Amino acid sequence: MVKKEAEIREIIEYYAGQKEAESQENLTAMLREIQETEGWIPAEACSIAAEKIGIKESMLACIIKLYPSLKSAPYVHEILLCTGERCQRKDSLEILAAVKEKLQTDKEGLAKDKRILLTTRNCLKKCSTSPNIYVDKVHYPNMTKDKILKLIDKLRQE
């Protein structure tokens, strides 16, 4: 844990002492509070919380994946790319490969510099403007490889 270790341990102790400590509601509230303190949810915090509460770390990982507002990494920007059938017909997989290469993503989609998270979804329900990408929840229709690579350069300058 990086910044506020004592504060995060205090949060974990509080939620571990609750009547239904293992409930999804309790775990989600704890994770949200950790994120408010740190800005994201460090793996070390999940490890300590799982041990204190008596659950598997994978349960916390599932909750983090379930709620898009919970961040397991300190990224600044998120790119969501459509991999649905219609977007694929317009080279979305080629765009995805180029973005992965540019960002040098790990298996979770986190860029090597940890500032950008790349995720995909089977269909973004915007087929008439494919291929589609969202960057920080802003829709970018009719995306091309060149456009997204320029956009990534711009994001990295911020």
Per-residue pLDDT of 98-138, as tens digits, reads: 999 999 999 889 999 989 999 999 999 999 999 999 999 99
Can you give the pLDDT at residue 103?
A: 96
Can you give the pLDDT at residue 1?
A: 43
Domain locations along the chain: 5-66, 77-157
The set of long-range contacts for 42-49, using a CB threshold of 8 Å and a minimum separation of 24, is 42/1, 42/2, 42/8, 43/72, 44/1, 45/1, 45/8, 45/12, 46/72, 48/8, 48/9, 48/12, 49/12, 49/15, 49/16
Can you give the pLDDT at residue 68?
A: 83
Q: Which positions of the chain have pLDDT values less than 70?
A: 1-3
Whether the predicted model's global pTM rises above the 0.85 cut: no
**Neighbour count for residue 120 (Cβ, 10 Å):** 18
Can you give the pLDDT at residue 5?
A: 86
Q: Please state which CATH class domain 77-157 belongs to.
A: alpha beta
